[in-house]
Amino acid sequence: MTIMSGYGGRFVTERADVVIVGGAAVGSATAVFLRREGFTGRIVVVEKDPSYQWCATGRSVASVRRQFSTRENIELSTFGWQYFSRIKQEYGHEADIGLVERGYAIMASAEGAGVLRANVALQRSLGADVELLAPDALKARFPWLAVDDLSGAGWGHSGEGWVDPHAHLALMRKRAISEGVSYLADEVVGIDVTGSAVAGVRLASGGAIATRTIVCAAGWHSRKVAGLVGIDLPVRPRKRYVFVIDCPTPVPGAGLMIDPSGVYFRPEGRYHITGVAPPEDEDPDAEDFDIEDGYFERLIWPTLAHRVPTFETLKVVNAWCCHYDLSTLDHNAILGGHPDVAGFLLACGFSGHGLQHSPGIGRAMAELIVHGGYRSIDLTRFGWARIAANAPLAEANVF
């Protein structure tokens, strides 16, 4: 047992070299990659909901695309895809994360044609197997799609698709535990700071862990966790619904299809899943899981029926809700240290694309902790400096 001075006179029953707050996709990936980077110290992951039923990871659409407008996001997805594709080599023949390789089709109206062209050029320059399809090529590939009001679409020929997020998380967690990482079912409710450096976390159970390094991987709760050290994080919990639809007429070859309005759908087994972000003035901070009556009929169904006329006969058979950890400045992640609190590292603000980026983010956090800087993907632009300067690095492809 250790007693630390300046620790509120409490008995500290544990000490760790790194405490990770949140043990879902990003927290668990951070633990796994810390070991890969050779970190031998004690790692404790504190997770308040070990069932993972309320986190974004478990409720994610879990799709992977190279089609972003920001270099870092494309590179993170490239690494994510490589990681997902090598699961059997990495975790053994039995390992299965339900990887489906199927492209995204990100459609543009005439108004969006220039942005689409520029984005596809950037993606291709970074090695993404993405092609700009004109409306006739789009129609030839997807005969069931209405293309008259489209200028074209970006289409990912390879290296895009989706995974089973539960299976991905379970593998990461199991690997971390097998490498000596401790998972603690508890909630971080306080963080002690000595001088201007973190000294430890306090737990809802009454316990405490002394540490000099804390990773905030708390997803849509990250604002609260950062608030414990006085950081005003521009990350907000924003509700997103996913509807499961059944349509008797098949739409063969569909990938993850995104209408210019942002309405998306993709196959999921014998069904399809669909959703759309609400207009900004209908998107308040929220922590509940209720599904708004009439949302599908009002904001999704008319677009689906227009874009895919055979969807007129669809039925909604199920729905779920969870929250994006929305980075309100620019829809990009907020990563790394904060100038006022040494040892407090942020890994949040993923704004709806954190599942595919979780392997890359885990690796990046491990590099920061072990080497003091990024070694593989330079994610400096995702740091706090842009928040402090109020200088957004806007990601255009957010859905």
Ligand X SMILES: Cc1cc2nc3c(=O)[nH]c(=O)nc-3n(C[C@H](O)[C@H](O)[C@H](O)COP(=O)(O)OP(=O)(O)OC[C@H]3O[C@@H](n4cnc5c(N)ncnc54)[C@H](O)[C@@H]3O)c2cc1C
**Interface with ligand X by CB under 6 A: which residues?**
21-22, 24-27, 46-49, 52, 55-57, 59-63, 187-188, 217-221, 225, 240, 242, 322-324, 350, 352-356
Smallest distance from ligand X to CB 265, Å:
12
Smallest distance from ligand X to CB 215, Å:
10
**Closer Cβ to ligand X, 25 or 181, answer by number:** 25
**Closer Cβ to ligand X, 158 or 313, answer by number:** 158
What span, in angstroms and rounded, lies between the C-alpha atoms of 79 and 250? Answer: 33
**Closer Cβ to ligand X, 26 or 245, answer by number:** 26
In 236-375, which ranges are continuous DSSP H helix?
295, 301-307, 354-371
Smallest distance from ligand X to CB 68, Å:
11
Return phi, psi of residue 325, to 5°. -90, 85
- Residues 303, 261 contacting (CB under 8 angstroms): yes
Smallest distance from ligand X to CB 165, Å:
7
Q: Which two tokens stand for residue 142?
A: 């997807």
What span, in angstroms and rounded, lies between the C-alpha atoms of 191 and 208? Answer: 9
**Closer Cβ to ligand X, 79 or 220, answer by number:** 220
The region that residue 54 occupies, defined by phi over 0 for left and psi between -120 and 50 for alpha, beta otherwise, is alpha
**Closer Cβ to ligand X, 128 or 147, answer by number:** 128
Q: Which residue do the tokens 């089973």 mark?
A: 164
What span, in angstroms and rounded, lies between the C-alpha atoms of 102 and 299? Answer: 26
**Closer Cβ to ligand X, 147 or 256, answer by number:** 256
Smallest distance from ligand X to CB 93, Å:
26
**Closer Cβ to ligand X, 147 or 233, answer by number:** 233
- Residues 336, 346 contacting (CB under 8 angstroms): yes
What span, in angstroms and rounded, lies between the C-alpha atoms of 27 and 252? Answer: 37
Strand pairing partners for 18? 43
Query: 254-286 burial, b if ≥16 CB within 10 A, otherwise e?
Result: bbbbbbbbbbbbbbeeebbbbbbbbeeeeeeee
**Closer Cβ to ligand X, 242 or 314, answer by number:** 242
Smallest distance from ligand X to CB 377, Å:
16
Query: What are the angstrom distances between the C-alpha of 372 and each of 68, 308, 367, 369?
Result: 27, 50, 7, 6
What span, in angstroms and rounded, lies between the C-alpha atoms of 167 and 247? Answer: 27
Smallest distance from ligand X to CB 59, Å:
5
Smallest distance from ligand X to CB 140, Å:
27
Q: What angle do CA 186, 187, 192 make, to 5 degrees?
A: 120
